Amino acid sequence: MKKLTLLLLLLACFQMQSQTVLGKWKTIDDKTGETKSIVEVYENNGKVYGKVIEIFDATKRNRKCEKCEGTDKNKPVLGLVIIKGLTKDDDEHNGGKILDPETGNLYKCILKISGKDKLEVRGYMGFALIGRSQTWVRVK
């Protein structure tokens, strides 16, 4: 019985470690609790990126990022890369940026798996203590 318990515990630990930030995630607004979009998180040249692949509110599907700067200015939000250049650091991804298409603001970003099929997304300026967090849910 002890061996079976140990085996199940090891399998559970392995499953938690094998979860990845890569995949499709349903974004949930931290202020309203409303589901807003689906972001696909992917890897390119060892860095992690995320782009908006679906917007649930039909009235916002054709919006452009008017307040964005640089190459993102006036690009359609649908298809826009909003997570840029994160690298894996232990159990989280950081060192890159996340774009808020509504304000055009670019923030430092941390992504971290939180439980089964949940992703903690933290955007901040300066110190990680000062910022906003959202919990995104994996799309199956």
pLDDT for position 101 = 94
Low-confidence ranges of the chain (pLDDT < 50): 4-17
CB atoms < 10 A from the CB of 102, how many?
13
pLDDT for position 80 = 98
pLDDT for position 126 = 83
pLDDT for position 2 = 55
Whole-structure pTM value: 0.85
